[in-house]
């Protein structure tokens, strides 16, 4: 099923003099939750700024929610809720008025903005704290206030830059739950830039991976994970022989004590493992598919495959 595209770019390039910040990006982001990944300097911030229509492109084109990022920046920013990574709140203001003001800046009527600010703060779990000054808030409460500022006008797309940055376990859990609820029950889209793979994996079903301004990978996390699929076995007796035999039969083996992970090359892999175990006299006490984490996937893509791959199809085709 083809889902509606919320962000689309073609050969999008941005350079600052000789430095190329974004290098011919062809990105398609569907409705739903998408993680924007990449190491420092990968171009995530520049990409977000281009999506907000704030900087002029060197070449290429892009659309956000159907609006041209070159000429319709105002229209885009009216329909997007942006949650910045760093502090973006006036510490001397009460949370309710901070959120109300952010609504007014989008063009909401002051009374409507105030009413909506109450709802937004209630939604992010600050209903009882809304008349407190922002300066008295913890990091988690500040993050939640920023999210309320982003949500006040019920945007079609929320861009959250490191939403769980600096949060403790409880606050992080709540933030991720809130983003999940926004996507699943609110039916809004989220583009989440983060360094925390677990967070992205928890909220998002798609990722866009940037590296040195280039697109390293994009697609569904589940699809991309298939490039690093392994079978994990727990063996008893003759583990060395087993490892050698598997390697001799052309299988890729990683071993730590009695636990081995063997590269999955097809359904025949299971039979080959069992046959090898039978041949060398090793007991296989446990065998199951090992699902790579997003972090594993990130490392695999960055280190093994490089950044010339453009899509999950390319990645999967190479396996």
Partner 1 sequence: MEEVESENTPFEPVPSKDEMYGAETPVTGKSQMQAAWSADSGDEEAGAQVAAMPEGQIFEQIYKPWEGTLNPRWMRNWAILRHHLLGVFKKGHRPWNIPTKLFIFFVIIASMTDVAMVLLFGMIGEPELYGIWGVNRDNMYGHVMGFFPRNILYYPIVAALLVGGMISEDRAHGTSAMYFSRPINRFDYAAMKFLSVGLILFFIIDGTLAVYYFADILVMGKGWAWIIDTFPLFIATFACGIILSFTYTSIGLALSSVSRGRFFPAIGLIAILMGTRSMAAIIDGLFDKSILYVISPFDAVAHVCQALIGTEMTYDHPWVWSLISVVVMNGLALYLLANRVSSLEVTRE
| Contact footprint for partner 1 (CB under 8 A) | 45, 48-49, 52, 54, 73-75, 77-78, 80, 82, 84-94, 96-97, 100-102, 104-110, 112, 116, 119, 123, 125, 127, 149, 153-154, 161, 177-178, 181-182, 185-186, 188
Q: Of 174 and 270, which has the nearer Cβ to partner 1?
A: 174
Determine the length of the chain: 319
Per the structure block, which two tokens stand in for 180? 């999940």
CB of 47 to partner 1, least distance (A): 10
Closer residue to partner 1, CB minimum distance, 84 or 263: 84
From the CB of 111, what's the least distance to partner 1, in Å?
11
Distances (CA, A) of 299 to 14, 225, 257: 26, 11, 23
Q: How far apart are alpha carbons 137 and 116 in whole angstroms?
A: 21
- Which CB sits closer to partner 1, 208 or 262? 208
User: What one-character DSSP code corresponds to residue 291?
Assistant: P
Q: Which is nearer to partner 1, 124 or 260 (CB)?
A: 124
In three-state secondary structure terms, 254 is strand
Please state, as a whole number, how many other Cβ atoms lie within 10 Å of the Cβ of residue 288. Answer: 9
Which CB, 97 or 202, lies closer to partner 1?
97
> CB neighbours of 154 closer than 8 A, spacing ≥ 6?
188
* Least gap, CB of 11 to partner 1 (angstroms): 23
Closest CA to 252 of 283, 290, 309, 299: 290
């Amino acid at each position: 099923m083809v889902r509606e595209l919320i962000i689309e770019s073609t050969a999008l390039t941005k350079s600052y003099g000789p430095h190329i910040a974004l290098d011919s990006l062809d990105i398609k982001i569907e409705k739903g939750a998408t993680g924007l990944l990449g190491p420092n300097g990968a171009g995530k911030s520049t990409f977000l700024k281009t999506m907000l229509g704030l900087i002029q492109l060197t070449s290429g084109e892009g659309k956000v929610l159907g609006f041209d990022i070159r000429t319709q920046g105002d229209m885009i920013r009216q329909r997007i809720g942006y949650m910045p990574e760093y502090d973006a709140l006036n510490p001397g203001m009460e949370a309710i008025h901070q959120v109300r003001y952010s609504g007014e800046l989008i063009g909401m009527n002051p009374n409507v903005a105030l009413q909506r600010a109450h709802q937004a703060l209630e939604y992010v779990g600050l209903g009882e704290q809304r008349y407190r000054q922002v300066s008295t808030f913890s990091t988690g409460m500040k993050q939640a206030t920023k999210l309320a500022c982003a949500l006040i006008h019920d945007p079609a797309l929320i861009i959250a830059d490191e939403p769980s940055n600096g949060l403790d376990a409880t606050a992080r859990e709540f933030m991720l739950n809130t983003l999940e609820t926004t996507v699943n029950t609110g039916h809004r889209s989220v583009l989440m830039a983060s360094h925390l793979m677990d967070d992205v994996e928890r909220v998002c079903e798609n990722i866009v991976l940037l590296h040195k301004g280039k697109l390293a990978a994009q697609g569904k996390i589940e699809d991309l994970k298939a490039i690093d699929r392994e079978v994990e076995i727990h063996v008893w007796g003759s583990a060395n022989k087993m490892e050698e035999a598997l390697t001799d039969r052309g299988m890729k083996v990683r071993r730590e004590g009695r636990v081995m992970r063997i590269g999955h090359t097809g359904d025949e892999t299971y039979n080959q493992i069992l046959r090898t175990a039978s041949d060398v006299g090793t007991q296989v006490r446990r065998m199951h598919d090992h699902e790579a984490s997003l972090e594993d996937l990130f490392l695999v893509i960055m280190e093994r495959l490089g950044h010339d791959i453009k899509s999950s199809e390319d990645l999967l085709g190479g396996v």
